[in-house]
Structure 1
Amino acid sequence: MPPAPKPIMLSPPPADIAPEERMYLDVYDAIMSHRLTAGTKLTEQALGEIYGMARHHVRRVLARLAADGLVDLEPNRGAYIASPGEREAEDMFELRQVLEAKVMDKLAGSLTEAGHRALRELIARERDAWMRGDRPLWIRLSADFHIELAKLAGNGLLVDTLRRLVSRTTLLISNLDTAGQQPCSFDEHAAVIDALRDRDGARAQAQMARHLEQCACRMLARAPARFDLRSALGKGAPPGGAPGRRKRE
């Protein structure tokens, strides 16, 4: 069984963690919050300067993020926040339909009261984040809902596979949704849980399929050409000068 997946960060990492782990969690969180958007270039030099780390440490962090599906490592060009194309997006959502239908099938007859309560609490937090205008937290909670369902299904390999797909497809959700369009809507999540509560596997599968179809329709606003890496990672301006900028070449 693969190691337990790293949870999506919902709060700042503790102050006493190793620098390499801090970089990983900071960048992971910034990507999942859309502060670092699809197509953004991550340079080893800039990250090394921000965290005071040698390039070989930065490379290890980028390799971990690549394994998560959040970063693409391009030979002779560097590391970029993953920016799936239309065909890949279609393939990923097609695979998610298959995997999450299986999750629904497993949970329809086995979801415990404790599991149901935990999912309800997660949806309530998601709704609250949306109502308060906390988009970064809302995006992370929306993604985490799908991972928690997979965990409750009890298949570690499925969790690991689905987590990578959820993380990568989360990058496709636009930062510029029009009014009334809610990517990974908490209302759609609630409909899935209602079906599971009623032990109606067919209805749960139908609700999840409809939800994923809606997610697939809320596609990507591409990364801006210019961005501030330090600000995106919450590190502020460098000593003695304005923050540098990078753009995809």
Structure 2
Amino acid sequence: MNKAIKPSRLQSAAISPAAPAQRDASVAVEERMYQDIYDAIMEHRLPPRTKLTEQTLCQIYDTARHTVRKVLTRLSTEGMVDLEANRGAFIASPSHAEVRDMFELRNIIEHAVLDKVGREAGVRQIAGLRKMVEEERESYMSGDRPRWIRLSAQFHLALAELTGNVLLVETLRKLVSRTTLMIAKTEAPGHNACSFDEHDTVLEALESGNIAAAQEHMAHHLHLCEDRVRPDDNDHFDLRSVLGKHS
């Protein structure tokens, strides 16, 4: 009786040379899907309560459901997506009461951030924030709204990162993401959309060593942000029209 010939380790490796490539491709698709959805949310191309259907996302990105679920879970952890039992995934749509509570919490946290940063941050660190605000201004003036929105949100996280408190930054990240997605696509009449001007006043106060003034400017900025929260939007969007550009 002929014994079955077992392939050597070298032969086994040669049998499935595509495995690492397949893993890399899966990771690339996962990251692209995450970035596409994140950008579409932050740019208000996918408004609150838009349903993210797993099957449709699988078709758009030509990938498996487990990859889609990983992305949706990641977005949920960051506060961008709500996962509802037996209903699916939806772009987060905080209630007016939740928005009010989130901005109240942001005010408390960012007040404490400025106190710590104002006492401990160096000139070079503040200068790094100044550069970010300049990039924010340039993006707005050049019409690059997606980059402007990202930088506007990132300013608050970069400021928090100067505290060195990782847990604080992660807590604030979810609040910033969840409140930013509710900011109006076009601000109400009389409201200045240029958040970089408000960020500038905070930095000027920090640079002058006036922590109390920086906190006052930040509180005013967050109040204006809350004022810009968009009204309820009942429109429904076709995911393929927004995310299908790569397919």
Output the amino acid matched with 2:186: L
What SS does the corresponding residue of 1:73 show, helix, strand or coil?
A: strand
Superposed counterparts of 1:77-156, under 5 Å: 77-156=87-166
Report the equivalent of 2:217: 207
* Partner Cα distance (2:77, 2:46) in 1: 17
Does 2:46 match 1:33?
A: no
Distance in 2 (CA, whole Å) between partners of 1:226 and 1:202 is 44
| Bigger radius of gyration | 2
**Deviates most, 200-209 or 109-118:** 109-118
Q: Give the corresponding residue for 1:247.
A: none
What percentage of aligned pairs have identical amino acids? 54
Q: Is the 8 A contact 1:70 1:167 kept in 2?
A: yes
Instruction: Confirm or deny: 8 A CA contact 1:101 1:205 kept in the other structure.
Output: yes
Judge which range, 131-140 or 223-232, deviates more: 223-232
**Whole-angstrom distance in 1 between the partners of 2:155 and 2:183:** 15
Aligned to 1:218: 228
Letter in 1 for 2:199: H
Cα displacement string for residues 153-195 of structure 1 (whole angstroms, at most 9, x for unaligned residues): 2110000000000000001100121455234711110000011
Contact 2:60–2:243 under 8 Å retained in 1: no
Q: CA deviation at 1:137?
A: 1.6
Cα offset, 1:114, TM superposition: 2.0
Please give the per-residue CA displacement for 1:83-135, whole angstroms capped at 9, x wherever unaligned: 11100001100100110001000111222222112111111111112112222
- Mapped to 2, the partners of 1:111 and 1:183 lie a distance apart of 28
Counterpart code for 1:130: Y
Q: What are the superposed Cα offsets for residues 1-21 of structure 1, whole Å, 9 maximum, x if unpaired?
A: xxxxxxxxxxxxxx9952222
Per-residue deviation, 1:234: 5.8
8 Å Cα contact 2:26/2:67 also seen in 1: no
Q: Secondary structure at the match of 1:72?
A: strand
The 3-state SS of whatever aligns with 1:117 is helix
Amino acid at match of 1:78: G
Segments of structure 2 that go 5 or more residues without pairing to the other structure are 1-24
Structure 2 counterpart of 1:171, from 175, 181, 191: 181
Q: Which has the larger displacement, 58-67 or 20-29?
A: 20-29
Task: Report the Cα offset of residue 231 of structure 1.
Answer: 3.6
C-alpha RMSD over aligned residues: 1.9
2:103 match: secondary structure = helix
Contact 2:39–2:146, Cα closer than 8 Å, also in 1 = no
Provide the C-alpha distance between the structure 2 equivalents of 1:179 and 1:137, rounded to a whole number of angstroms. Answer: 23
**1:213 Cα deviation after fit:** 0.8
Q: Distance in 2 between matches of 1:200 and 1:135?
A: 32
TM-score normalized by structure 1? 0.84
What's the secondary structure of 2:119's corresponding residue? coil
Cα distance in structure 1, aligned partners of 2:146 and 2:193 = 12
Check conservation: 1:37, 1:222, Cα contact below 8 A: no
1: distance between equivalents of 2:197 and 2:244?
31
* CA shift digits 1:194-213 (9 cap, x unpaired): 11111211111111111111
Mean CA deviation greater in 194-203 or 110-119: 110-119
Do structure 1's residue 197 and structure 2's residue 183 form an aligned pair? no
What is residue 67 of structure 1 aligned with on the other side?
77
Aligned-partner Cα distance in 2 for 1:172–1:122:
22
2-structure distance, mates of 1:74, 1:219: 23
Deviation at 1:230, TM superposition (A): 2.9
SS of 2:143 mapped into structure 1: coil
- Calculate the TM-score normalised by the size of structure 2: 0.84
Please identify runs of 4+ aligned residues in structure 1 that moved more than 3 A. Answer: 221-224
Q: How many residues align?
A: 223
